[in-house]
């Protein structure tokens, strides 16, 4: 397929008995911002580690920028840039030296290296920090430096593994501005995150992964509209009867029972539907004790496809099963 910068076919990966990645296929189009979403331990990091050549390819085939990961790993390495999830800066090198080291790793000629370092430092606005050791940078500055480093070799694809984790809101917003700026110059962005709202705002395409499988895939709007137009949360005196009654209404797409209350997705504008639904429930003699109307978010999409919240603590046990460092 022309136009795809990443093609992943039937990728599998196991740690001992634990299957972290279970036969997944996906494609990333050139120039897009592709998001790979899922809870901790879903297999995101494993996939990114395989794609960036840090883990061996066990089963399946991967092509990046036209190169086969198995047979041409060196060309793949030259085609990608990476911003790792945790900080990977040498604290004792300065900003300039960090980039100098990176340029040398990719055997960039001296002139080009110097020129590109200046350009990158300017892009991420670290000009006045260029001789400061990275240990003395703030969290946001470190992140920016890592992005500059990832972009220095002008890769076709930039992998961003949870780029905004641990940053304050303001820094996060700026970080997304940089990322979008970079994307506008033609760099494809491969993003993993578990911040659904951020993915929603910036992504052209989203794949949701859970327990090693891709469970949903689409444009953010498409994914959300698959759920229906609006969502209503209801608490009633008798959830059981309410559930049975609501399922008979044509406007209702789906009703889910939560620990407390019901979650209803409807196919029409909730502003006008909600009063009607409430009136019909009252007619049935069901008392309503709480109500909330909202637009579906990617979190809801995730709950819809997995039956779980993305940040529920149950995900932690999966994280522990994936042996990492």
CB 215 within 8 A of CB 38: no
We find the least distance from the C-beta atom of residue 52 to other proteins, in angstroms, to be 5
**Closer residue to other proteins (CB): 30 or 78:** 78
**Closer residue to other proteins (CB): 93 or 293:** 93
We find the least distance from the C-beta atom of residue 18 to other proteins, in angstroms, to be 15
Measured in degrees and rounded to the nearest 5, phi and psi for residue 35 equal: -110, 140
**Closer residue to other proteins (CB): 77 or 224:** 77
We find the least distance from the C-beta atom of residue 153 to other proteins, in angstroms, to be 9
Enumerate binding residues for other proteins (CB under 8 A): 45, 49, 52-56, 74, 77-78, 80, 82, 84, 86-90, 92-93, 97, 101-102, 104-107, 149, 324-325
**Closer residue to other proteins (CB): 52 or 203:** 52
We find the least distance from the C-beta atom of residue 98 to other proteins, in angstroms, to be 9
Cα separation, 34 vs 25, in Å, equals: 14
We find the least distance from the C-beta atom of residue 24 to other proteins, in angstroms, to be 18
We find the least distance from the C-beta atom of residue 114 to other proteins, in angstroms, to be 15
CB 161 within 8 A of CB 85: yes
**Closer residue to other proteins (CB): 106 or 115:** 106
**Closer residue to other proteins (CB): 19 or 311:** 19
**Closer residue to other proteins (CB): 50 or 214:** 50
We find the least distance from the C-beta atom of residue 65 to other proteins, in angstroms, to be 13
């Amino acid at each position: 397929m022309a136009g795809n910068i990443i093609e992943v076919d039937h990728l599998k990966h196991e740690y001992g008995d634990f299957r972290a990645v279970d036969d997944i296929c996906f494609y990333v189009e050139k120039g897009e911002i592709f998001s790979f979403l899922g809870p901790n331990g879903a297999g995101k990091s494993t996939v990114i580690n395989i794609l960036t050549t840090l883990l061996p390819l066990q089963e399946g085939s991967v092509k990046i920028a036209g190169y086969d990961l198995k047979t041409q790993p060196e060309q793949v390495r030259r085609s990608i840039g990476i911003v790792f999830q945790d900080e990977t800066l040498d604290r004792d090198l300065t900003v300039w030296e960090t980039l100098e080291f990176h340029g040398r790793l990719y055997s960039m000629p001296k002139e080009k290296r110097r020129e590109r370092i200046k350009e990158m430092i300017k892009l991420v606005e670290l000009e006045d920090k260029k001789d400061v050791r990275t240990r003395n940078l703030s969290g946001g500055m470190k992140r920016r430096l890592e992005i500059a480093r990832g972009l220095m070799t002008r890769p076709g694809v930039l992998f961003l593994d949870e780029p905004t984790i641990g940053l304050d809101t303001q820094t996060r917003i700026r970080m997304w501005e940089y990322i979008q700026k970079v994307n506008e110059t033609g760099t494809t962005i491969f993003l993993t995150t578990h911040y659904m709202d951020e993915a929603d705002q910036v992504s052209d395409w989203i794949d949701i992964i859970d327990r090693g499988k891709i469970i949903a895939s689409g444009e953010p709007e498409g994914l959300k509209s698959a759920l229906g137009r609006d969502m209503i949360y209801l608490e009633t005196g008798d959830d059981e009867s309410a559930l049975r009654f609501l399922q008979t209404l044509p406007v209702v797409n789906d009703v889910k029972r939560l620990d407390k209350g019901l979650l209803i997705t409807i196919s029409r504008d909730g502003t006008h539907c909600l009063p009607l639904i409430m009136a019909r429930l009252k007619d049935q003699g069901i008392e309503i004790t709480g109500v909330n109307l909202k637009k579906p978010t990617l979190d809801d999409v995730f709950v819809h496809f997995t039956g779980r919240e993305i940040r529920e603590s149950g995900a932690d046990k999966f994280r522990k099963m994936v042996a990492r460092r």
